[in-house]
Amino acid sequence: MGFMMMLSVSCNKELETPYDHPFFYIHQNNDSEITVQSNRNEPVDYKVYLSTKTQFEPVTLTYEIIVGDGLKEGIDYEILNTSSSLLFKPGYVEMPITIRWINHPIQEEKDNTLIIRLLSNDKDITIGMPGPDHKQSSLKITKI
Q: Could you give the domains of the chain?
A: 19-143 (2.60.40.2030)
Q: Categorize the per-residue pLDDT at 68 as very low, low, confident or very high, splitting at 50, 70 and 90.
A: very high
Query: In one letter, which amino acid is 126?
Result: T
Give the pLDDT of residue 141.
98
Give me the DSSP letters along 51-95.
E-S--SS-EEEEEEEEE-TT--BTTTEEE--SSSEEEE-TT--EE
Q: pLDDT tens, 117-143?
A: 999 999 999 999 999 999 999 999 999
The whole model's pTM is what?
0.86
Q: Categorize the per-residue pLDDT at 14 as very low, low, confident or very high, splitting at 50, 70 and 90.
A: low
Q: Indicate whether 54 pLDDT > 90.
A: no
Give the pLDDT of residue 7.
46
The answer to whether the CB of 25 falls within 8 A of the CB of 51 is: yes
